[in-house]
Structure 1
């Protein structure tokens, strides 16, 4: 990733210019990444140079402001506690002066109280969503945001090219932070980010399930290549697990003893589960059983089933997704992804007339109705019977 000589702070990828600038080390605590990169949406050197220079100037100004704000107030250590809180933007009760807080302070409150023991993605989602608001409407007191601000925010997200589903997630995060912070500081205010209209289907592509023929062909290729990446694909193919669930497994989560070999999907510090109902036990059949046997047989120096994706404190499911999706697209329809196996599992179980509550238990989906929360669910033998039929 080298800067082009004709347009500083840029690089070219597939003919398109991208802005790229490293975050200064003294300001790195303000960012979630070491470098700021985004598409300049042009193939023109002149346009790219103009946009990059403008972005660089804006960053220089913003970084100057951050450096000034980071400087401690002279004599701050001599202030009383109430004065110190005010100096930090909050009153002695934890509420801001004037009984309101700015959105940036609301994010801090939200993360401090609700972010404990939550993954880094929770923190990043909150900061990113409200960062979008601040970029579009500036950082203001919660009581001063208006519906016009919310509409401008919506328009800014659409201009970024976000799909309707992504806009929905961002708005949901902003609404949650706004409501939580308002309740915490004891103010009653109408949330202007609620009920904003936009096309929720814009840019949303339906994920198509894989055909049984395609699944069988991919499973055959996995057996032929026979490496850890193919074991991961095969393990997902006949269990319907989410990719992150499989990538974060321990070797001891795979139980091959007993009449029904199975895998235990449970939360680990390095890989959280999407919902409480995602914790489950899935019988191993077909290609998934083969993959599990290969994983256990080759496990030597690591407790992880897939060590390459567990080298840090968090399972790197994004890296796994990128690598596996690239391989799958070479051997399956272009729109196919690892998540397609999960869609396919639901269809495959439907095709053998598997009861819907058994389908939900296998996939870790929420089953409607109070009665379904009682008891321990179906035994492994019953789940295994239906999975063998589908496989």
Structure 2
């Protein structure tokens, strides 16, 4: 009932995560235990037991329960869940109990607030890319010339394919879009607004499709295309997609678990290794952190930064696209600000001159 509740929209990936957590929790608490009988001490014991479950236990012992996996791992040096991962399990379990409370199935949530201390501050979960990492990323063959943008993306060659694997990292760096926001773009989501080419970040579709997801309400927004993207020929790329009648801006990307970013994220992790830019706590989302730092370096107005990044702001929590047309910032003001985003050490001229 909880996962099928129509009042909450969840992606396939989120549903899979909830089911995985549910199975682990049932392994520990007992599959037949009634919700009404679950106590606070049981929830504390669940927290303790989750901290003992080896990583990838189901892959290692597919026919064994979580408790059996704990027993099998005794005396061995298997890695266990990180505090963030463990707390994520407890949060999902607590969400179920919160729902049960609202539905009057139980009187209160016995797992409320239960979590372990995470020594890594939230701002350090993901780091921005360093200047050297950015240089390595954008000097890689996929940007400077490769065999192809599939299996040959890391091999130097004479081809310069400009599809998703080329554009999406540049979009992340200069627009601050989340990975799935960029991967799921419809071709119609890039259009002129008051004289400026803009990304329209929205779940709406001109084709009536229901395949786009946003993280929060404030994620829905307008982001003008940065001058670097324009200089590299992004507008011509968009026109080519329209001429080809491609509904999706990056038609080669497919949705997996309800997200167009799923497979791209895995590829990007391999790409970072291939170009020597892989480092602890950096991933595609590090582009978003780099973008935020670049906005700070440009001394950009904070409300405009919040609007560009789709971050919630104390002065405006609605976050709808219509804000940019009425009481929000105009596309001209947003474009003027985003044009201030710069990064040292990246040579774009050779890319702009490429065929």
Q: TM-score, normalised by structure 1?
A: 0.64
Select the residue among 20, 41, 47 that pairs with 1:154: 47
Corresponding residue of 1:101: none
| TM-superposition CA deviations, 1:303-345 (whole Å, max 9, x none) | 1111222367944312101112221333325233211100000
Deviations 1:62-91 (A, max 9, x none): xxxxxxxxxxxxxxxxxxxxxxxxxxxxxx
CA distance in 2, matches of 1:166, 1:115: 26
> Which shows bigger deviation, 136-145 or 162-171?
162-171
CA gap 1:303/1:312 in 2 versus in 1, 3 angstroms: farther
1:233 matched residue in structure 2: 169
Q: Which residue of 2 aligns with 1:273?
A: 214
Alpha-carbon spacing, 1:202–1:217, altered in 2? closer, same or farther (3 Å): closer
The change in CA–CA distance for 1:371 and 1:154 in structure 2 (over 3 A counts) is closer
1:201 aligns with 2:119: yes
Could you say if the C-alpha distance between residues 342 and 151 of structure 1 is closer, same or farther in structure 2, counting changes exceeding 3 Å? same
- Note if contact 1:239-1:284 (Cα within 8 Å) is conserved in structure 2: yes
Shift of 1:132: 2.0
Aligned to 2:251: 307
Distance 1:110 1:312, change over 3 A: closer
Asked whether the 8 Å contact 1:236–1:242 carries over to 2, the reply is: yes
Return the alpha-carbon distance in structure 2 between the equivalents of residues 201 and 261 of structure 1: 43
* 2:313 paired residue number: 367
Per the TM alignment, residue 171 of structure 1 is displaced from its structure 2 partner at its CA by 1.6
The 1:200/1:361 distance shift into structure 2, 3 A limit, reads: same
- 3-state SS in 1 of match to 2:328: coil
1:334 aligns with 2:279: yes
Does structure 1 retain, via aligned residues, the 8 Å contact 2:194–2:331? no
Q: Mark the CA change 1:318 to 1:291 in structure 2 (over 3 Å): closer, same or farther.
A: farther
- Contact persistence 2:18–2:92 (CA under 8 A): yes
Q: What does residue range 112-123 of structure 1 map to in structure 2 within 5 Å?
A: 112-114=4-6, 117-123=9-15
How much does 1:297 deviate?
4.6
Kept in 2: contact 1:115–1:122 (CA 8 A): no
The answer as to whether partners of 1:251 and 1:295 remain within 8 angstroms in 2 is no
Partner of 2:144: 224
Shift in alpha-carbon separation, 1:344–1:370, aligned structure 2, 3 A: closer
SS at match of 2:223: strand
Q: CA deviation at 1:195?
A: 2.9
Which of structures 1 and 2 has the bigger CA Rg? 1
- Structure 2 CA distance for partners of 1:388 and 1:212, relative to 1, 3 Å: farther
C-alpha deviation, 1:134, in angstroms? 0.6
The equivalent residue for 1:3 is none
Task: Supply the distance in 1 between the matched residues of 2:42 and 2:327 (Cα, whole angstroms).
Answer: 48
TM-score (norm 2): 0.70
> Which residue in the other structure is 2:197 paired with?
261
- Give SS of 2:252's match: helix
Determine whether 1:321 maps to 2:265: yes
Query: 1:148–1:312: structure 2 CA closer, same or farther, 3 Å change rule?
Result: closer
Residue equivalent to 1:378: 329
CA offsets per residue over residues 104-125 of structure 1, 9 Å max, x none?
A: xxxxx21232466532234223
1:126 Cα deviation after fit: 2.9
Residue 142 of structure 1 aligns with which residue? Answer: 35
Number of the residue aligned with 2:226: 285
Query: Does the 8 Å CA contact 1:260/1:283 hold for their aligned counterparts?
Result: yes
Judging by fraction of residues, say which structure has more helix.
1
How many pairs were matched up? 282
| C-alpha separation in 1, matches of 2:215 and 2:236 | 27
Which residue number in structure 1 is paired with residue 350 of structure 2? none
Alpha carbons 1:256, 1:293 under 8 Å: kept = no
Shift in Å, 1:240: 0.6
- How far, CA to CA, are the matches of 1:211 and 1:377 in structure 2? 33
Which secondary structure does the structure 1 equivalent of 2:27 belong to?
Answer: helix
Partner Cα distance (1:211, 1:383) in 2:
26
Q: What is the SS of the residue equivalent to 1:348?
A: helix
RMSD (CA atoms): 2.8
Structure 1 residue 169 corresponds to structure 2 residue 88? yes
Q: Separation in 2 of the partners of 1:256 and 1:308? A: 24
Residue of structure 2 in register with 1:99 after alignment = none
Does structure 1 residue 245 correspond to structure 2 residue 213? no
Shift of 1:355: 1.4
Q: Distance in 1 between matches of 2:102 and 2:259?
A: 34
Aligned partners of 2:7 and 2:16: how far apart in 1?
10
Name the CA shift for 1:372/1:319 in 2 (closer, same or farther; >3 Å).
closer
CA–CA separation in structure 2 for the residues paired with 1:122 and 1:326: 23
Equivalent residue for 1:127?
A: 19
Unaligned runs of 5+ in 2: 54-79, 146-159, 205-209, 343-355
